[in-house]
């Protein structure tokens, strides 16, 4: 690093270059337009859309959210207008931003849906990457794709054949061994991994003895899940070579740094967007300050820089 120079916050995910490693996480940022009054969206490293499905999804019955100690549960259930309406009504605004656009997609019934979804997205050149959401806990399924290494490999492998875009696989923490799933996704051709999705959870109204959420249980997010996420990023980092996009309860630069040090190449901010819409930009500037103060010339030197005592 040149003495007076600024550190390089750029990060590379295969052929995709991000000017900085901070993204807004899927499901917490709508289609970005919702936040246009509150921040300069062009400063984001990337934006990940709310998950899109083939058909419109009305989502789950209310109440869909409730607060928990330092966190929240949601059971939104992937409410979205479907791929065609997404392309005709939401894409124009996102394209104009000029920042890498990552479209999150999910299949409701069968992985075959990914084929049609990719078919519709592949031609849109502004879409830099596809995030495969195979880890949403709100689909009322007995088992998620990302809860089985074989299923994960099959879906990632099939989608890999269909797209030349960067492929990011989003993993669930609700598994026995996340590294098995991570390695399966890597072997099947995923360019990067996003972890973690929400943790399955439940809250009960003890006065009425009913679940607090309309669909009984939901996904836990926010600072409460952060230590779980950091550990999983660290575990996965030690087993794979592709970049990790770390997320789970990041509130500020301090908590974002934990993820980088554990092994993340980039981070996604989720729940905090509801609380502090300026958080992503605060993390970008805080990260730059930290790198200057610690003489870290580029981000790759920070990723996985955890120091361990030798025993």
Partner 1 sequence: MARITQLKTRIVCNRELAESYRYLEFESSCIAKAALPGQFVNIRVSGTSDPLLRRPLSIHGIKGRRVKVLYEVVGKATGILASKKPGDSLDILGPLGNGFNLDRAAPFSAKESNIVVAGGMGVAPLVFLAETLKKSKTQIAQAETIVLIGAKTKKFILCRKEFEALGFSVRIATDDGSLGFKGKVTDLLNSFCGKTRPGMIFSCGPRPMLQAVALAAAEKNIPAQLSLEEYMACGIGACLGCVVSTRQGYKTVCKDGPVFFGEDLIW
Closest approach of Cβ 24 to partner 1, in Å? Answer: 10
Q: Which one among 3, 5, 58, 311 touches partner 1, defined by CB under 8 A?
A: 58
| Contacting residue, 64, 90, 165, 170, with partner 1 by CB under 8 A | 64
Closer Cβ to partner 1, 10 or 223, answer by number: 223
Site string for partner 1, 9-28 (x = CB under 8 A): ------------------xx
d(C-alpha 259, C-alpha 303), whole Å = 8
Nearer to partner 1, 191 or 258 (CB): 258
Residue 271 sits in the site that holds partner 1 (CB under 8 A)? yes
Q: Is 109 in the site for partner 1 (CB under 8 A)?
A: no
The CB-of-64 to partner 1 minimum distance in angstroms stands at 5
Q: Does 65 bind partner 1 (CB under 8 A)?
A: yes
Residues with catalytic function: 136
Q: Is 133 in the site for partner 1 (CB under 8 A)?
A: no
Q: How far is Cα 1 from Cα 298, in angstroms, rounded to an integer?
A: 8
Please name the residue that has the structure tokens 């996704």: 185
Contact of 35 with 12, CB cutoff 8 Å: no
Report cis status (omega within 30 of 0) of the bond before 63.
Answer: yes
In the bound complex, what is the minimum distance in angstroms from residue 221's beta carbon to partner 1?
A: 10
Check residue 137 for interaction with partner 1 (CB under 8 A).
no
Does residue 35 touch partner 1 according to CB under 8 A?
yes
CB atoms within 10 A of CB 14: 15
Site for partner 1 (CB under 8 A): which residue of 8, 154, 179, 274? 274
DSSP string for 135-193: --TTS--SS-GGG-HHHHHHHHHHHHHH--SEEEEEPPS-SS-HHHHHHHHHHTT-SEE
CB 78 within 8 A of CB 117: no
Tokens coding 74: 């949601």
Burial of residue 155 (CB within 10 Å: 0-12, 13-18, 19+) is: buried
Residue 254's nearest CA partner among 277, 237, 232, 272 is 272
Does position 62 interact with partner 1 (CB under 8 A)? The reply is yes
Contact between 248 and partner 1 per CB under 8 A: no
Which range of residues in 70-78, 146-154, 165-173, 193-201 is near partner 1 by CB under 8 A? 70-78
The residue among 137 and 243 lying less far from partner 1, judged by its C-beta, is: 137
Name the burial class of residue 33, with classes exposed (0-12), middle (13-18) and buried (19+) by CB atoms within 10 angstroms of its CB. Answer: middle
- Residue tagged 């084929």 (tokens): 115
Nearer to partner 1, 38 or 112 (CB): 38
Cβ 222 to partner 1 shortest distance, Å: 5
**How far is Cα 19 from Cα 266, in angstroms, rounded to an integer?**
11
We find the least distance from the C-beta atom of residue 150 to partner 1, in angstroms, to be 33
Please pick, from the candidates 22, 72, 261, 284, the single residue that binds partner 1 as defined by CB under 8 A: 72
| φ, ψ for residue 289, nearest 5 deg | -60, -45
Q: Is 89 in the site for partner 1 (CB under 8 A)?
A: no
Q: Does 207 bind partner 1 (CB under 8 A)?
A: no
- Positions touching partner 1 (CB under 8 A) are 27-30, 34-35, 37-38, 50, 58-59, 61-67, 69-72, 74, 76, 79, 222-223, 251, 271, 273-278
């Amino acid at each position: 690093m040149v003495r007076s120079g600024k550190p390089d916050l750029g990060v590379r995910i295969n052929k995709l270059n991000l000017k900085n490693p901070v993204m807004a996480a899927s499901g917490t940022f709508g289609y970005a337009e919702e936040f246009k009054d509150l921040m300069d969206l062009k400063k984001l490293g990337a934006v990940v859309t709310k998950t899109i499905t083939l058909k419109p999804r009305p989502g789950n019955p209310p109440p869909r959210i409730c607060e928990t100690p330092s966190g929240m549960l949601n059971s939104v259930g992937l409410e979205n207008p479907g791929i065609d309406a997404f392309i005709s009504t939401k894409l124009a605004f996102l394209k104009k931003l000029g920042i890498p656009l990552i479209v999150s997609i999910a299949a409701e019934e069968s992985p075959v849906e990914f084929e049609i979804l990719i078919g519709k997205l592949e031609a849109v050149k502004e879409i830099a990457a596809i995030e495969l959401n195979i880890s949403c806990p709100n689909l009322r399924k007995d088992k998620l794709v990302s809860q089985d290494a074989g299923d994960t490999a099959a879906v990632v492998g099939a989608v890999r054949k269909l797209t030349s875009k960067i492929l990011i696989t989003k993993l669930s923490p609700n598994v026995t061994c996340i590294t098995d799933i991570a390695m399966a996704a890597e072997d099947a051709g995923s360019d990067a991994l996003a972890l973690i999705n929400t943790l399955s959870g439940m809250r009960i109204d003890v006065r009425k003895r009913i679940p607090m959420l309309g669909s009984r249980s939901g996904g836990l997010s926010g600072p409460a899940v952060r230590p779980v996420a950091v550990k999983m990023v660290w575990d996965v980092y030690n087993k794979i070579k592709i970049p990790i996009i770390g997320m789970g309860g990041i509130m500020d630069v301090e908590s974002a740094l934990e993820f980088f040090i554990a092994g993340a190449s980039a981070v996604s901010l989720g729940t905090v967007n509801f609380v502090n819409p300026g958080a992503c930009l605060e993390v970008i500037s805080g990260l730059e300050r930290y790198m200057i103060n610690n003489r870290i010339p580029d981000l790759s030197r920070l990723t996985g820089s955890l120091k361990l005592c030798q025993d």
